[in-house]
A and B are shown apart, each in its own frame.
Chain A
């Protein structure tokens, strides 16, 4: 069975436009916290949704937020108008978010991202400063912990 890294590879291969945010972005920058899902900020355009569906259609995509986990419709027109898509598939959970608290929409998130090589593919990842701003804006205890860790990583990187 595939993994979250394989989902990332699928998204990249299908040229889905996205920036990795939240927990896995922190992982890429050195955070030791473990997270279950792949959160990405993405424009909710029809073209991007078509690419997303091409990436995950054969992975049994289901709605994560619905306890009955009904299948996600594979007709892109039925996914238009959503601000966020929370999808569970056979390789893991992927959340597509149109905005990130503390930063803004995809364009703003994109401007604060960096490109990292992840398993041989260039992927855009929210930079530590952006992650810290997002975590501080969320303000839950777990976010404060994550922000504190990321600020320490930023200290370390400045000295490196």
Chain B
């Protein structure tokens, strides 16, 4: 699935690399938010995100009966 950012509000541009990241498809609004946090808060938020990723993977594994990232491991 592709998500278009066409029509999304244009934020500030901090330089050529910032614009290159936008062109690459990177969500720079997330970067702006993360840069408002302390390093510890960023790592804590990362732990939460990783927990969500693992929960979703486990849900997929239960649904398919195997890890869909590694279909060869089907039981």
Q: Which residues of A contact B (CB under 8 A)?
A: 3-5, 24, 27-32, 34-36, 116-120, 125, 145, 148-149, 151-160
Contacts and interface: CB of A to CB of B under 8 A. Distances in A.
A155 B46 contact: no
B39 A116 contact: yes
B26 A24 contact: no
Interface in B1-55: 14-18, 20-22, 24, 26-28, 30-32, 34-35, 38-40, 42-44, 46-47, 49-50, 53
A125 B16 CA distance: 25
A31 B14 contact: no
B28 A152 contact: yes
| Chain A binding surface, main DSSP class | helix
Given A28-B39, A151-B17, A5 B31 contact: no
Interface in B49-74: 49-50, 53
5 contacts: A31-B31, A32-B30, A125-B39, A152-B17, A158-B14
Contacts of B14: 152, 155-156, 158-159
A35 B32 CA distance: 19
B35 A160 contact: yes
Given A34-B46, A159-B15, A153 B35 contact: yes
